[in-house]
């Protein structure tokens, strides 16, 4: 989610310990129209992501979701959570 009037920022954080990214968090964008607008601006095809967008289209809590990168990082022996994130 981007704060009002600051399209250059996102509402997120990273928790670092001894130079390693241990976990991250963010406020999820819950306004489906803005998600579609941002995807269009980036040239992203949203068709393959229909299931991912389902909780946003339905009346669901804004905080719905889970971050499993840390668990994945530990289970498969990665050194950084950034390597376990699908976006990177």
For 16-60, write each residue's pLDDT tens digit.
878 777 777 777 777 888 888 888 888 988 888 777 666 666 665
- Nearest in space to 20 (alpha carbons), one of 87, 88, 83, 79: 79
Q: What's the burial of 29, exposed, middle or buried (CB within 10 Å: 0-12/13-18/19+)?
A: middle
Domain membership of residue 25 (yes or no) is: yes
Q: What is the pTM of this model?
A: 0.49
- For residue 68, what pLDDT is reported? 65
* pLDDT at res. 88: 42
Lowest mean pLDDT among 44-48, 63-67, 71-75: 63-67
The answer to whether residue 2 is domain-embedded is: no
Q: Structurally, how many domains does the chain consist of?
A: 1
35 found inside a domain: yes
Distance separating alpha carbons of residues 72 and 24, to the nearest angstrom: 14
Q: Is residue 68 part of a domain?
A: yes
List the domain range (segments joined by +) for residue 79.
Answer: 12-84
Nearest residue to 69 (alpha-carbon basis) of 37, 17, 21, 2: 21
């Amino acid at each position: 989610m981007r704060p009002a009037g600051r399209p250059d920022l996102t509402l997120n954080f990273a928790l670092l310990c001894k130079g390693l990214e241990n976990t991250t968090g963010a406020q999820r964008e819950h306004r489906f129209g803005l998600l579609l607008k941002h995807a269009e601006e980036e040239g992203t095809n949203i068709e393959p992501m229909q299931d991912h967008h389902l909780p946003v289209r339905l009346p669901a809590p804004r905080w719905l979701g889970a971050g499993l990168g840390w668990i994945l990082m530990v289970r498969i022996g990665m050194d950084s959570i950034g390597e376990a994130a699908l976006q990177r």
